[in-house]
Structure 1
Amino acid sequence: MFLHIPHILDAEELASARRLLGPDAPWVDGRSSAGAQALAQKNNAQLAQASPEAQQLRTLVLSALQRAPLFFSAALPQKIFNPLFNRYSGDSNFYGPHIDGAVLHSQATGQWVRSDISCTLFLSAPDEYDGGELLIQQAQGERRIKLPAGDLILYPGSTVHQVTPVTRGARLASFFWVQSMVRSTTQRELLYDMDMHLLALRQSLGESDPAVIGLTGTYHNLLRLWADT
């Protein structure tokens, strides 16, 4: 599933994040957290995970996700890898083609998280930098993604993807992974589609309509069948 969720961060939260990610933030070489395959492809800066800025930003992003119903419906999160933060600019300006590790260890929480879903939360406006598209390879061709600041993209963790070179300005973003309660991408997509149709039916027919009640029961029975907690 590819899903664009707008306005994960409001204007105040976005301004706070941008302030914490300023030029004086504790940026380190992004290769310090890269796996063996990604090491040769990764050329960016990453916020030091143990820094006070990173701790504040993790709390900010996780709190914002908690109030995003579309995120919950699409991801059905069991675990969320602690959000990380990166910058592409100057000579540290790209991340070549790679695939995310299947199981990742969080320094912040000590958890192992299976990367069912990859997430990028854009923190720079598109007109602030040139290049820097999230480029995802699909059987149907390439998909290029460059979203407004504060918007989130969800995409399968199994995809080969890259960040194209930033040739002007700076691209700031948060990135993290989700281990879903429903491991199958197809099953998650079916549940999300059903949830969105149910939302439309509730708005038109009301919560007490027998068809709405029956389909809601079907949704939860499928979730009960497929989910692990």
Structure 2
Amino acid sequence: MLLHLQNILTAEELRAARTTLQAASWIDGSSTAGQQALNVKNNQQLPQDGEASRSLRALVLGALNRHALFFSAALPKKIFNPLFNRYGGSTNHYGKHVDGAVLHSRASGERVRSDVSCTLFLSEPGEYDGGELVIDDTYGSQRIKLPAGDMVIYPGTSVHGVAPVTRGERLASFFWVESMVRSDEQRRLLFDLDMNLLKLRQRDGESELAVALSGTYHNLLRMWATT
């Protein structure tokens, strides 16, 4: 499931994040790449153990914790500590690759299975040319460039990359989710059911039908979830 989530960050949070990122020191992104990505990763990244990364991680995780649509779509069991990258100048692209299946977080020491990949955009689309997140999925190649503060989530199994930035600077946060429901197909069914239940409740209130379908949702989640 590929899904655009709006307004992950408030305007105030976005300003704070941008201020921190503009003042931060960056390192070569390829220094953190796995073997597959080593030859195609050409960007900059914040050091994971720096003060800037620590404060920005707390900001992003706090925002995710209050975003009901993110929870419904991803059903998070673990969230890999958010990372931060910059594209521009001579370090301006990331070739096609697939993320590692299990990632080790330096911040928490946890190993996180990458069921769901997440990119939170921190630059406005008009601030840079190029820089689209390019995701190959069932319906072809999707080119994604979202407003600052918005996020896209997509299956961790997807081939994806970042198109060259030819003007300006692209800032983003990226991370992965290990979901309570491992199957993307099952997560999609649960999300569709949850969204239709929301519409039903908005129209009819807590009707007998809404209660029955809510029971179906939770019974499916009970069947498929691992906690």
TM-score if structure 2 supplies the norm length? 0.99
List structure 1 segments (4+ residues) > 3 angstroms apart after TM superposition: none
Aligned partner of 2:226 in structure 1 is 228
**Structure 2 counterpart SS, 1:147:** coil
Equivalent position of 2:159 in the other structure:
160
What is the number of equivalent residue pairs in this alignment?
Answer: 227
Q: Flag structure 2 segments of 5+ consecutive residues without an equivalent.
A: none
Aligned amino acid, residue 210 of structure 1: E
Instruction: Give the superposed CA RMSD.
Output: 0.6
Give yes or no for the alignment of 1:9 onto 2:9: yes
2:37 is paired with a residue whose SS is helix
Question: Equivalences for 1:178-217 in 2 at 5 Å?
Answer: 178-207=177-206, 209-217=207-215
Partner SS for 2:95: strand
Tell me the equivalent position of 2:124: 125
**Matched residue SS, 1:8:** coil
Match of residue 37 from structure 1:
36
Task: Please list, as runs of the form range in 1=range in 2, the aligned pairs for 1:88-99 lying within 5 A after superposition.
Answer: 88-99=87-98
**Whole-Å Cα distance in 2 between the matches of residues 111 and 145 of structure 1?**
30
Quote the sequence identity (%).
Answer: 65
Provide the rounded CA distance (Å) in 2 between the counterparts of 1:138 and 1:226: 24
* 1:18 aligned partner, one-letter code: R
CA deviation after TM superposition for structure 1 residue 140, in Å? 2.7
What's the counterpart of residue 77 of structure 2? Answer: 78
1:218 aligned residue: 216
In 1, the alpha carbon distance for the partners of 2:156 and 2:91 equals 24
C-alpha displacement at 1:82, in angstroms?
A: 0.2
